[in-house]
Structure 1
Amino acid sequence: MHTRKHHRMPATRLLALHVLRGLNSLEASTLAKALQDRNADVRAGAVRLCAIAEANPGLVSALVNDPSARVRAEVAWAFVSRPAGEKQNALVTLLDHAEEPWLRHATLAAAGNDLESVLGALDKRNPQRAAELRQLFGKKQTAAAALPTLSPASPRAEAIAMYQPALTLTGNATKGRATFETRCAVCHRFAGRGTGVGPDLDASRLAGREKLLGNILEPSREITAGYPLGLLETRSGETVLGILTNETPAGITLRIAGGVDRVVRRSEIAKVERPARSLMPEGLEAGLSPQEMADLLEFLTSGGPSVP
């Protein structure tokens, strides 16, 4: 994987960031550059990775006024584990300008035990908004409990909480197809579309929205047989990650994102690993709103050939 090349496809840039993170090879300078990416999905993904690494809080704070609501939602979650003062300042700004109901829900959930202090600070800036949010929070249900196939103790509990509304929102399959093509098609096939790196998703129609959402948010929870992951380090220092499709005394073949078969000669290999996880890294949902997730679920469970 050549990490310094700036790929023109946002989905590929986003995938590269998460793969680098999984390999513990994501440099701070690369992450900082991604936070300024022209594409909102890539910026949102970079914010998510900053939260995971607990890095660059100053750069993340600068995105509280990002033009994309999806990015601002990720900023809210990035402050979940930050000190109370930092969290309060960021969330108050986000709530003061959050017009989208789903973004308000996400930001309130991110406040956690600091909710009252956040709303108290918002009272001083925008008392009407603070009163509206107190009423809204009183109607909120615990998000993780509404997903019985996902454990509330899951390490991805924050993502579960954020995307729980997608299960009850009305999805648009046509819009979901566009999300599939930009997010999923680089590695998956569905209804004749996409690339066959990972498992085909045609069976997803039978799985149901809840199970499908769980697999999206926790991709390594269930690993499909026949798609073993291979991780190679070459003697030149390059890292190659993909589905192991062939192994001979002469070399190893990995199918990488985009459906390309990469053959690496044994003489070039310094190290071989077979991680017991999915090629799809966690966090690829970053940048999607709950409505966009609902659209994707609708496409995958009832779309396909009938979707224009």
Structure 2
Amino acid sequence: MSHKSGFVNIIGNPNVGKSTLINALTGEKISIVSPKAQTTRQRVLGFLSTDDYQIVFSDTPGYVENPSYELHRKMLGYINAAFEDADIVILIIEPETRELNPNLLLRLQNLTVPLIVCINKVDLSQQEKMMELMNLYEVVFPKADVMLISALHNFNVDVLLGRVLEKLPEHPAYYPKDVLSDRNLRFFVSEMVREQIFYIFDKEIPYHCEVIIDYYKEDENIPKIGATIFVSRESQKRILIGQGGSAVKKLGTLSRKHIEEFLGQHVFLDLNVKVKDWRDNETTLKQLGY
């Protein structure tokens, strides 16, 4: 019996549900999510494997129209890479989203691999509007499959998976079948801290924060984790720490809770905050994994 395997890359505007969808498709928390746009900064792979197939799902940052920092250019590079190695592309649309960037639209129309257009968040919009959108995108992408989903509520996610399997090429597995992602444990821990920053802090603060794991030590009793949060300015550091350390203490408590749920065990978490001009420094971005 033949074996199927391929790269299924998820692309779309910021905050349309790409990360929620990859988590729903894999059944694992591969990507962090928040109500704020541009939570995802790097390309993250999540694997769904059985004896007969392996799907390599790829979550990408929201499309950056006018990169203004080196970080934004890196994010756009991840999207470009997702176009280059895709066996199937899933485009995520939401009913209230703005129009697609013309460059992104052109690349999607010129795809030589199967395209599946998913209109997400169907639970938040009227049926008449959803059908109008379906008709519109069937005209814009005449060769694509166009369907309605709700990644958050798992509506039609199984149908989407079935369509992916129909289009998946025959190929040996790209990764070991017992692996869930291309990312290591330190990456997931750092992302969980960053996720809580997006939930707790407002305005520009989450977008000026980056988290790096300084150490992860397996102790006899509980793992000890040390992390540094980089911010761009001293004023942001003061906000992140809070009066008497109250804000960073809250951040540490919530982050530790989610890390413990992820690992299934108690951990010790120590957070430090430092000022570093990281968003527009290519050398620093490389050190941070970009």
TM range (shorter): 0.3 to 0.5
TM (normalized to structure 1)? Answer: 0.31
Instruction: Looking at secondary structure, tell me which structure has more strand per residue.
Output: 2
Instruction: Looking at secondary structure, tell me which structure has more helix per residue.
Output: 1
TM (normalized to structure 2)? Answer: 0.32
